[in-house]
Amino acid sequence: MSPAARLPLIRIRWRIFAFLFGFGFVAYLQQKTITVAALQIMPDLHLSQVEIGWLEQSFIVGYAFFQMPGGIFGQRFGPRRSLVIVSLLAFFAMLAFAAAPALLVGRALFVALLGAQLLLGVAQAAIYPVCAGLFGAWFPPNRWALVQGLQSLALQMGAAVTPPLIAGLMLTMGWQRAIVWTTLPALALIGWWAWYGRNTPQEHRAVQPAELVEIGARDDSLDGTAVTAARIWRVLKNRNAILLFVSYTCMNYVFYLIGNWVFLYLVQERGFSQLEGGWLATGPPLAAGIGAGLSGLASGYACARFGNRRGYRLTPLVVMPLAGAMLLATVYAANAYFAVAALAFCYLLVELTEGSFWGCAMTVGGVDTMSLTGFMNTGGNLGGIIATPIVAYLSQHHQWNLTFYIGAGFAAASALCWLGIDADRPLVPVNAAMTA
C-alpha cells in the first residue's frame, strides 16, 4: 500500500485548523457580546454611551498592547499550552463581567467592569499570533494566506451570530444570563484542544509520514524557544513590519467602526427596533466573513500569478480605496436598507485584505512569525483604540456621518502603505536562516 493510500480523508492538519477556527469564533462571540448587551447595560447600570465606549476601550487597550507580548509568550511556552491558558483567562473574564453587578455598585462596579474587559483583551491578545505560529508549522507556505483568511471567516461568523443571539436572549433572560450561557460552551473547546492539540505535526502521533511530506520541512522549535532582545528589536526595526503595523492600524479603524458600532448605528441613527437592528447587524459581519474566506484565495492566486511582492500588494491597493467609497455611500444613502448594504459591502472589502496582511507577515516573519504578527496586530488594534473614543463621542452628539468620513481617510492611508511593503525581503534571509 502506498503512503498516500494510508492518509486519512481529512488530514490531521485540517483537524488542528478546526480547533483554531473554533477559538477564533469563540473569541469574537465574547468580544462582540458587550457591544450588543450595551443596549440593556446602559439603563440597567445607569451608564452613558461614552462610558460604554470606555469599556470598549479597556478591552482594546489590553488587546492591543499585549499582542506582541502574547506572541512572545506563545514562542516561549509553546502554542498548545498558551491557547489553553489564555482561553481560560478569557472565559473567567466574561463570567466576572456578568457577575460584577451582583457584588458591587457605583464606581467600584464600573472599575470592576473595566478590569474584566481589560483582562479579556489581555487574554485574547495572544490567540491570533499563536494561531499564526501554528499555521506556519502545520501548513505549507502556499496555504498560509488561505488558512488565515478562513480563520478570519470564523471571526466574522462569531460576530454575525452575536447580535441576534444576544439580543434574543436579553429579551427572555436579561443581559447577565445571556453572557453566562453563551460563555460556558468555551470550556468544552479548551478541554478538547488540551487533549488533542500539538505544537507541530512531528509531535502528533496520528500524523503519517506522507502528510509530513505534504506539509514540507517546518521549524520544530515551537515548544519553548529563547526569545532574545536582539530578535525582538530585529522585528521592531524592520521596514516591512513597520509598514504592516501602520497599514493594519488604518485598516482597523474601519474594521472597528463597523464591527463594534453597527448595531447602535442602525438603532440610533437609522431608526430600527432593537430586534430588527440585531438581525440587520448580522449583515456586515456575514459579508465580512465572505470577504475573509475569499481573501486567502485571492492573495494566493495573486502571489502564484505575480509573485509574493506584487501578489500580496494587489488586493489591499485595489479594495481599501473602494471600502472608503462605501463608507461615503453610507453617509449619502437616503434608504436605510441601502445604508446597511453599503456597510456590508465595505466590511466585505476590508476583510478581503486579511489574507494579504497575515500571509505577508508570516512570509516575512519566518521563525519569528508569532512576534511579528503580534506586532502587526498591535497596530491593528491601535486602530480600535483610535476609533473607539472618536465614534463614542461623535455618535453621542449625533455626528455619525463624520465617523464615516474619517474612516474613508484611514482606508486610503492603509492602501498607500502597501506601496512600500516587499514580501520578498524576509526578516531573516533564507540562506542565513538555514545556516543559523
The C-alpha cell at 69 is: 507580548
* Residue in 159, 144, 153 with CA at minimum distance from that of residue 294: 153
Instruction: Report residue 339's pLDDT band, with 50, 70 and 90 as the boundaries.
Output: confident
Distance from C-alpha of 6 to C-alpha of 285, rounded to nearest angstrom: 40
Whether the per-residue pLDDT at 382 is higher than 90: the answer is no
Q: Between the CA of residue 1 and those of 7, 92, 206, 210, what are the distances in Å?
A: 11, 49, 18, 12
Instruction: Mean pLDDT check: name the lowest of 168-182, 265-279, 328-342.
Output: 265-279
Per-residue pLDDT at 118: 95
| Amino acid symbol at 320 | M
* Residue in 387, 357, 402 with CA at minimum distance from that of residue 256: 387
Q: What is the pLDDT of residues 257-267, one digit of tens each?
A: 988 788 778 88
Q: What percent of the chain has pLDDT over 70?
A: 93
Distance from C-alpha of 230 to C-alpha of 21, rounded to nearest angstrom: 33
Q: What is the pLDDT of residues 345-376, one digit of tens each?
A: 999 999 999 989 988 998 898 878 888 988 99
Instruction: Report residue 422's pLDDT band, with 50, 70 and 90 as the boundaries.
Output: very high
The C-alpha cell at 277 is: 437592528
* Residue in 431, 293, 423, 298 with CA at minimum distance from that of residue 364: 423
Whether the per-residue pLDDT at 107 is higher than 60: the answer is yes
Distance from C-alpha of 78 to C-alpha of 126, rounded to nearest angstrom: 11
* Residue in 236, 313, 193 with CA at minimum distance from that of residue 71: 236
Per-residue pLDDT at 299: 87
Instruction: Report residue 221's pLDDT band, with 50, 70 and 90 as the boundaries.
Output: low
Whether the per-residue pLDDT at 225 is higher than 60: the answer is no
| Amino acid symbol at 128 | Y
Per-residue pLDDT at 433: 42
Distance from C-alpha of 171 to C-alpha of 188, rounded to nearest angstrom: 27
The C-alpha cell at 136 is: 506556519
| Amino acid symbol at 302 | A
Per-residue pLDDT at 217: 66
CB-based burial label for 253 (10 Å; 0-12, 13-18, 19+): buried
Q: What percent of the chain has pLDDT over 90?
A: 45
What is the residue extent of each domain of the chain? 3-426
Average pLDDT taken over every residue of the chain:
87
Per-residue pLDDT at 3: 47
The CATH superfamily label for domain 3-426 reads MFS general substrate transporter like domains (1.20.1250.20)
Whether the per-residue pLDDT at 1 is higher than 80: the answer is no
| Amino acid symbol at 192 | W
Q: What are the φ and ψ backbone dihedral angles of 281, each rounded to 5 degrees? A: -70, -10
Whether the per-residue pLDDT at 109 is higher than 90: the answer is yes
Per-residue pLDDT at 419: 96
First to last CA, the chain: 39
